[in-house]
Structure 1
Amino acid sequence: MKKKILIFIALLFFALGLTGCSSNQKSVAQQANTADTWSHIKKRGRVIIGLDDTFVPMGFRQKDGKLVGFDIDLAKAVFKQYGIKADFQPIDWNMKETELRNQTIDLIWNGYTITPAREKQLAFSRPYMANRQVLVTKTSEKINSFKGMQNKTLGVQTSSSGASLLDEHPTMLKNYIKNKTPVLYDSFNNALMDLDDNRIQGLLIDSVYAGYYISKEKDPDSYNTTRGGFSGEDFAVGMRKGDKTLKKKIDTGLQHLSNTGELQKISQKWFGNSDNILIKPNNK
């Protein structure tokens, strides 16, 4: 009898523990949807931005370890207006929404695409840049369409918008590739190296990254870019739904940078043009 009582007590504590964990998870999610953290960020004097630090040219490490990129410059310029320092925290891109919900970061700002699925979980700033998924191949492969990837190996970054589109519209590209399954990569850098070494014959990648990477190669003509049928996408800043003041500050800051021409200058620096910028000056 004593043994049965001890077992019952142990099971009771276990059940209470599960209830506590469930309540805690619910509390974290609820707080993320309701808490406005702007006053805390302002008092702290810095905002913590989560990113994949291999995403050239949005945010990446130079050989000396310095973090640079279009989004790095843009985020710094936005928060400079409010006297707040932008701190950048490299994160596991697969866990980006969890990191945001758990408040280990304040923002996701790294060529982050607006999608309906993501809008259910978090809030977005106004879109500031247009992008699309393109197929990059070696010119020697003579692949000029998605159909040209028939029985060939495709690479894609894990949890990227490209990976999502591949699954959402399998008849466009996925059904053509070898085993109807892509090779998944943690970073585009590794995927591009495999493309060069012919371990994969195609790479589904952001056009902003593809254009920047190819322009820096010794022989840009050795690469071919195919647009295919995937629709365009917009980059924006991801944040918790409760951070309405933070959203307003970012949106206002982005518009100000466009009005002064600084947003266009940052784009010129990284892309050689400002054609992909969605926020137009409203002072003309």
Structure 2
Amino acid sequence: MIKRMSIVASMMTVGLVVAGCSADEETGQAKEESYIIGLDDTFAPMGFRNDDDELVGFDIELAEAVAEDIGVEFTFQPIDWAMKETELNGGNIDMIWNGYTITDERAEQVAFGTAYMENSQLIITLEGNGIDTKEDLAGKNVAAQQSSSAVDAIESDPSNIIEEFANGEVVQYPSNNEVFNDLITGRSDAIVVDETLGRFYMNQNPSDDYKVLEDNFGEEEYAVGFRKEDDDLRERVDQSLEKLMNDGTYEDIYDNWFD
């Protein structure tokens, strides 16, 4: 009798422990809401790797502030920027958040959140090469990042200046670092890049040879890209961004990277 009671008691104890673990696991799963943000980890200062190989940048800090505000976890996944919409709609990532420009073409594939930053497409060249206006790009080699809004802006420019470029095309590279290297080494005569990235890059790599034209390839806005069916996530992020813009958090992060 005593032995049977001991066995039953032991079984009850084990059952309670198992039940407690299950409850904890279920509670943990309920609280641990996690989403993956896809980004180009060379796009400074929005999201890039520092000297310690850590992901840093304006968009990284802003996303982390949003995650804390709405009580979820965001992880960051470097992706091939040319495949960003495919990665999103294929379910490999949940958001595109890395200086992602709103365009009509992209709006056909993703749902954009509320715009949170203005940007423009700078034309950068080197002193002494005779390029002073957009029209001077005729016959020149012009480079930009592959599948970037810079390429979209050039291709949709009302002047159709791309037809006058060398070979009638934009020279495209996977990263903006390669685009700048192409300019510095003289393989390209001019480059077109996001103003946020271009001015940050030139500030970090100062040279008297850089020249920014007064002309540009248009004004634009950054927003977060979501799957079209993810209305709830988009609304929660939008509401949080609005809150952070009103309580000073956004301004503090902005000053940290752009002051």
Contact 1:155 1:191 (8 Å CA) reproduced: yes
- Check 1:143–1:78 CA distance in 2 against 1; reply closer, same or farther (3 A cut): same
* Matches of 2:221 and 2:242, distance apart in 1: 16
CA RMSD of aligned residues (A): 1.7
Q: How does 1:184-263 map to 2 (within 5 A)?
A: 184-219=172-207, 221-228=208-215, 230-263=217-250
Contact 1:146 1:172 (8 Å CA) reproduced: no
- Check 1:55–1:70 CA distance in 2 against 1; reply closer, same or farther (3 A cut): same
Q: Deviations over 1:98-148 (max 9, x none)?
A: 111111101000111111121122111100000111111012324211122
* Matches of 1:60 and 1:204, distance apart in 2: 19
Q: Deviations over 1:18-58 (max 9, x none)?
A: xxxxxxxxxxxxxxxxxxxxxxx975432100011111111
Contact 1:59 1:69 (8 Å CA) reproduced: yes
- Check 1:135–1:79 CA distance in 2 against 1; reply closer, same or farther (3 A cut): same
- Check 1:85–1:199 CA distance in 2 against 1; reply closer, same or farther (3 A cut): same
Contact 2:121 2:216 (8 Å CA) reproduced: no
Contact 2:142 2:188 (8 Å CA) reproduced: yes
Q: Which runs of 5+ in 2 are unaligned?
A: 1-28
* Matches of 2:57 and 2:235, distance apart in 1: 24
Specify the structure having the higher radius of gyration (Cα): 2
Secondary structure of 2:235 counterpart = helix
Q: Shift of residue 223 of structure 1?
A: 0.9
Q: Is 1:120 paired with 2:108?
A: yes
Residue among 228, 245, 254 paired with 1:267: 254
Contact 1:48 1:89 (8 Å CA) reproduced: yes
Contact 2:32 2:73 (8 Å CA) reproduced: no
Aligned to 2:129: 141
* Matches of 2:160 and 2:203, distance apart in 1: 27
Q: Deviations over 1:164-201 (max 9, x none)?
A: 12222273531332121121100000111121111111
Aligned to 1:277: none
Secondary structure of 1:152 counterpart = coil
* Matches of 1:172 and 1:146, distance apart in 2: 11
* Matches of 1:166 and 1:153, distance apart in 2: 13
Q: Which runs of 5+ in 1 are unaligned?
A: 1-40, 273-284
- Taking structure 2 as the reference length, the TM-score comes to 0.84
Q: Shift of residue 263 of structure 1?
A: 0.4
- Taking structure 1 as the reference length, the TM-score comes to 0.77
Work out the percentage of aligned pairs sharing the same amino acid. 40
